[in-house]
Amino acid sequence: MRKKIVAGNWKMNKNSEQTEILLNELIAQIPASCDAKVIVAPTFVNLASAVNHLKNTPIGVSAQNMHQAASGAYTGEISADMLKNIGVNTVILGHSERRAIFHETDALIANKVETALQNDMNVIFCFGEELKDRQSQNHFNIVENQLRDGLFHIQKKDWEKIVLAYEPVWAIGTGETASPEQAQEMHEFIRETVRKSFGSDVAEDVSILYGGSVKPDNAKEIFSKSDVDGGLIGGAALNAKDFIAIVTAF
């Protein structure tokens, strides 16, 4: 069954006190009955406390990244086992900031996906074209290649652990969002691409989130599109009122 999901990617924001304040606000303000699964992704150092804080609430916790190796001499890195050990079963992989700033390639991201699946973790797999790709009408090719090279090595049964997050790079943190029509057009293409390789049952079941300057005032229209199953929210996830307004846009 395709799930509706609103996930907040906090990126490198909020220290421990600020994390606690925002989590308390979210717990207080989240509607009692809510159509969408709500997930937050605080920074690594605040994940364990977030898991404890959100116990017995409907809000789930995700990591923003992890290393592909099981353990070893990888200074500064975090393994799947470490995440699972503190109760984090979901990880965002392939975010455009990891690709652009930390030079993560499709091949590396494919490795990370493999490690996450081996550890029975859920993956929020991010991908999306840059402005130059859209301007040169190459955006469908780029998106298809990112999917094929970073994700499509998985087996059919693995899809139950995968959520897709289409995030056009030109819309991230820029205040410029894809129009609901642009989002729908790409999400439909993504679902078709999944269908061609893995069949209709997988394509119909996978949740495809949109990310890129989703705000309270545009969420409803974007979420109303038939192939948009939710959002991956950056800036607006750092403020409880805005994030909850986006959650309730469903």
Active site residues: 95, 167
3 state DSSP class of 41? strand
Instruction: Compute how many residues bind ligand 13P; rule: CB under 6 A.
Output: 14
9 touches ligand 13P by CB under 6 A: yes
Nearest-approach distance from CB 97 to ligand 13P, in angstroms: 7
Q: Does 214 bind ligand 13P (CB under 6 A)?
A: yes
CB 7 within 8 A of CB 30: no
CA distance 99 to 114: 17
Find the part of the chain contacting ligand 13P (CB under 6 A) among 42-50, 137-145, 217-225, 232-240: 232-240
Nearer to ligand 13P, 6 or 214 (CB): 214
> What is the nearest approach in angstroms of ligand 13P to the Cβ of residue 22?
15
Q: Under the criterion CB under 6 A, does residue 172 sit at the interface with ligand 13P?
A: yes
φ/ψ of residue 32, rounded to 5: -60, -45
Q: How far is CA 176 from the centre of its chain?
A: 19
CB 127 within 8 A of CB 149: no
Q: Which residue is nearest to ligand 13P (CB)?
A: 234
The DSSP secondary-structure symbol of 212 reads S
In the complex, minimum distance from the CB of residue 225 to ligand 13P, in angstroms, rounded to a whole number: 17
CA dihedral of residues 149, 154, 158, 161 (deg, nearest 10): -30
Is the CB of 206 or the CB of 212 nearer to ligand 13P? 212
3-state SS track over 146-184: HHHHHCCCCCHHHHHHEEEEECCHHHCCCCCCCCHHHHH
In what side-by-side order are the strands of the sheet with 230-233?
Answer: 59-61, 37-41, 5-9, 230-233, 208-211, 162-166, 122-127, 90-93
**First-to-final CA distance of the chain:** 17
Select the span of 75-83, 103-111, 134-142, 226-234 touching ligand 13P (CB under 6 A).
Answer: 226-234
Q: Which stretch binds ligand 13P (CB under 6 A): 24-32, 142-150, 190-198, 227-235?
A: 227-235
Q: Shortest Cβ distance from residue 196 to ligand 13P (Å)?
A: 26
Burial of 161 (0-12, 13-18, 19+ CB in 10 A): middle
Give the range of 47-55, 82-90, 185-193, 211-219 binding ligand 13P by CB under 6 A: 211-219
Q: Which of residues 39-98 bind ligand 13P (CB under 6 A)?
A: 95
CB of 8 to ligand 13P, least distance (A): 8
Alpha-carbon distance 69 to 46, whole Å?
Answer: 22
**212 binding ligand 13P? (CB under 6 A):** yes
Binding to ligand 13P by residue 173, rule CB under 6 A? yes
Q: Least distance (Å) from ligand 13P to the CB of residue 241?
A: 15
- What residues make contact with ligand 13P under the rule CB under 6 A? 9, 95, 167, 172-173, 211-214, 232-236
